[in-house]
Structures are given as C-alpha cells and as structure tokens.
Amino acid sequence: MSSKGIYKSGQGYWVRLMSAIGYGVIVALGLIWLWKQIEVIDFGIEATYAQVIAILVAAGFFGILGYWLIGSKPGSVDFMIATEGEMKKVNWSSKAELTRSTLAVIGLTLLVALFCWAVDVVFALVFTKVGVLDS
C-alpha cells in the first residue's frame, strides 16, 4: 500500500463520489456560517481579510480531512467499496410494484382514519346519552 495517492482507485467510485459531494456541501455550509460569524469579531484588521484568511484555512483543513477520509484512509475506503458492492445486490422495486404498495399504504391509512372517526362518533354519542358530555 502506498502512503500517497488514492487508495484502491477505481473501486467504490459512486459511493466515494456521492460521499465527497455530501461532504463538500456540509463543509460549504459550515464555511458560510463561519464567514458570517467572523464578520462580527474585531481582529484589528479589516473584517473581510479576517474572513478570507479563516475561510482559506478552514477550507484547506477540511479539504485535506475529506481527502484523507474518502480517498486514502484504508478503513473508510474499504467500507465504501463494500457498501457499493452490497448496493449492487439490492433487488429494487419496479415502478408498478412501488405504485401498488403506495396505494395500499394510502388506502389502509384512510381506512384506519375512518375507523378512528367512527369509533369517536360512537363514543361521543354514548357519552352524550349517558350525560358525561354536553351536547
């Protein structure tokens, strides 16, 4: 194993790509937050300079961390490769099967709601007749 470069390049491509995109979005949102936080702190220099310096340092740090986690750390890379292998084994539902299942769930939910409403009406009538509830 080489200490430089991408560990097992060519394997787990899609999992690594999507993980890198997700990681990048989270880091970008964090950098936006950091930019706004530094705007109100007085460092003795113009706020924009402090913001740019902080953003560059943070982006560099998190970029290296992301590269290490997603590209070169053997444990996490092997996990991503195994994840992609398992995802290829999944039997994904067809559109027709998904539509039938969705309609079944919606129908059953409506039936349960109707049953609960009917039981509520019956109890309300019974308790009104007994005198527990006011009409």
User: Which pTM was predicted?
Assistant: 0.63
Q: Is the separation of the CB atoms in 38 and 54 below 8 Å?
A: yes
pLDDT of residue 1: 43
How much is the average pLDDT of 108-133? 95
Q: Cα–Cα distances in Å, from 91 out to 8, 66, 86, 94?
A: 27, 31, 11, 9
Answer whether residue 102 shows pLDDT above 80.
yes
Q: Is the separation of the CB atoms in 69 and 26 below 8 Å?
A: no
Report which DSSP code applies to 72. Answer: I
Answer whether residue 126 shows pLDDT above 90.
yes
In angstroms, rounded to a whole number, what is the distance separating the alpha carbons of residues 1 and 8? 9
Q: What is the chain's mean pLDDT, rounded?
A: 90
